[in-house]
Amino acid sequence: MKVLVPVKRVVDYNVKVRVKSDQTGVDIANVKMSMNPFDEIAVEEATRLKEKGAVAEVVAVSCGVAQCQETLRTAMAIGADRGVLVQTDAELQPLAVAKLLKALVDKEQPQLVILGKQAIDDDANQTGQMLAALLDWPQATFASKVELADGKATVTREVDGGLETLTLKLPAIITTDLRLNEPRYVTLPNIMKAKKKPLDTVTPEELGVDPAPRLKTLKVSEPPARKAGIKVADVAALVDKLKNEAKVV
Amino acid sequence: MTTLVIAEHDNAQLKGATLNAVAAAAKIGGDVHVLVAGANARAVADQAAQAAGVAKVLLADAPQLADGLAENVAAQVLAVASGYSHILFPATASGKNVAPRVAAKLDVAQISDIIGVESADTFQRPIYAGNAIATVQSADPVKVITVRTTGFDAVAAQGGSAAVEDVAAVADSGLSSFVGREVAKSDRPELAGARVVVSGGRGLGSAENFKILDPLADKLGAALGASRAAVDAGYAPNDWQVGQTGKIVAPQLYVAVGISGAIQHLAGMKDSKVIVAINKDAEAPIFGVADYGLVGDLFQVVPELTSAL
């Protein structure tokens, strides 16, 4: 069975982004970029399924600018067998990415697509569900455990108030939550090997998809700043402040 | 212009998040209808009918809707969707699961986690873990939206008198099936809606030590939360996680104990009215957002604070 793993190049999760002064967006020039953390978990899960023998091939996919090749190489260093870049400089929103991925799924015919539950830049949490809808496949979002057997996936999901378990008929879509696994560190030999793995490039036009954004961003602004707080000396002072100044207890 | 709000419920009780979504719908303007999709869920529909500002409740009642499977619920929403200009879901685990599926089927963008309504087509939403607020405009004929519940004050649960209308339930998709659910039992208030939240981080050191927060939470009538570090280390269950990828809370009082204050954690709690931080590291970023900070050993401070309250 073949697994497709979409990965996104995003601003590194440790970077505190700044809003541009003209309010057109956040400043990502010269900022460290990395693979979206949830996507790393997705690549790791696909690789583990392959190591268990449940999966034959893992294909990593990324949509975006030419530099997304680096993200694909990282996926291949973790364990993906090959990469596909849908190259475009256009702004891509989740619906457009879902359509690009659908076109690739039609071409590659995987039995499973594993995505991250959300990207830490747009925080949308949509692409996996949208892809499932476009393909009419079942979905299991926010997965913390995945088992494949007999043409079915049994997935434990993190939901409000606890966990729930579903079985999905394959082919299916799974999106990863943080606790699904701990991605391995990529080693230097694996980085070198990844450079030799195949990486194909296609364009949205070749896939017959119009990636035009549907939502227009009118402006991006700073969140309201909190006024500076104070440090109190001891518990008595804290209780006094909470009772008499903030009046919350 | 009519808005459809998808109710969040457990087939017996309407969840508070629905009332926040109704509040967002009221800001958009026009009539507000609520869809209750469930099994033996008439009591939920009756509760929704009493919510202030709700004009009509649609009830789809069938066994295949019992467990909120995305395939069936999305199909149910699509079956009643014609005529609505806006379809709103609370941005809960179930809302986030279903809304994009509905949007893709309608071939429209979905707008996630709105915290403000500027007009019927323009909304505000946080991006980059809440470090920026984007104002976005949708040109799509139908707006499919998830509503960040802490962004809108809930409408009154009583006072409305909407009619409940039965609608035909869609057939089971057969694509997925429900196996089971493990619900974490708790006598404390629900984290997302609590007035006071006491949260612990890696500084607690162990699941055993985490219990030091219980008496404090009891005294404050607080829900317990945790940072990702504490959850990953196994000190606390994962549905306690507050942050970008966990729950977003905005209580009157948030007490962060032994939490350094990573960007991802702050994204989940920085809209709290009053933030108190207790940490032994005076340089911890949490002090940058705390109204009141106390530098000290939490194992001394927390019991002292509990007895002083």
Residue B97 confidence (pLDDT) above 90: yes
Reported confidence tier of residue A226, pLDDT bands at 50, 70, 90:
confident
What is the rounded average pLDDT for all residues in chain B? 96
Q: pTM (2 decimals)?
A: 0.94
Share of chain B above pLDDT 70, in %: 100
For the stretch A34-60, pLDDT in tens is 999 999 999 999 999 999 999 999 999
Per-residue pLDDT at B245: 86
State whether residue B13 sits within 8 Å of chain A by CB.
no
CA distance A17 to chain B (A): 7
- With contacts defined as CB-CB under 8 Å, which chain B residues touch A139? 70-71, 97, 101, 176
Per-residue pLDDT at B164: 97
Per-residue pLDDT at B184: 75
For the stretch A152-181, pLDDT in tens is 999 999 998 889 999 999 999 999 999 999
Residue B179 confidence (pLDDT) above 90: yes
CA distance B122 to chain A (A): 9
HEC sequence for B186-202:
CCCCCHHHCCEEEEECH
The partner residue sitting opposite B305, judged by closest CB among A138, A167, A235, is: A235
Q: Which residue of B has its CA nearest to A177?
A: B245
Closest CA to A108 of A63, A157, A59: A59
What is the rounded average pLDDT for all residues in chain A? 96
Per-residue pLDDT at B288: 94
For the stretch A14-31, pLDDT in tens is 998 999 999 999 999 999
Cross-chain Cβ contact A168/B304 below 8 Å: no
Reported confidence tier of residue A224, pLDDT bands at 50, 70, 90:
confident
Mutation target for A interface from B10, B72, B101: give the one with most A CBs within 10 A.
B101
The whole-angstrom separation of Cα B225 and Cα B246 is 10
- With contacts defined as CB-CB under 8 Å, which chain A residues touch B245? 38, 117-118, 177-178
Cross-chain Cβ contact A140/B176 below 8 Å: yes
- With contacts defined as CB-CB under 8 Å, which chain A residues touch B264? 13
The complex scores an ipTM of 0.94
The whole-angstrom separation of Cα A122 and Cα B197 is 27
**DSSP β-ladder status, A162-169 and A152-159:** antiparallel
How large is the average pLDDT for residues B45-66? Answer: 97
Domains of chain A and any CATH numbers: 2-245 (3.40.50.620)
Residues in chain B: 309
Tokens of A175: 């999106």
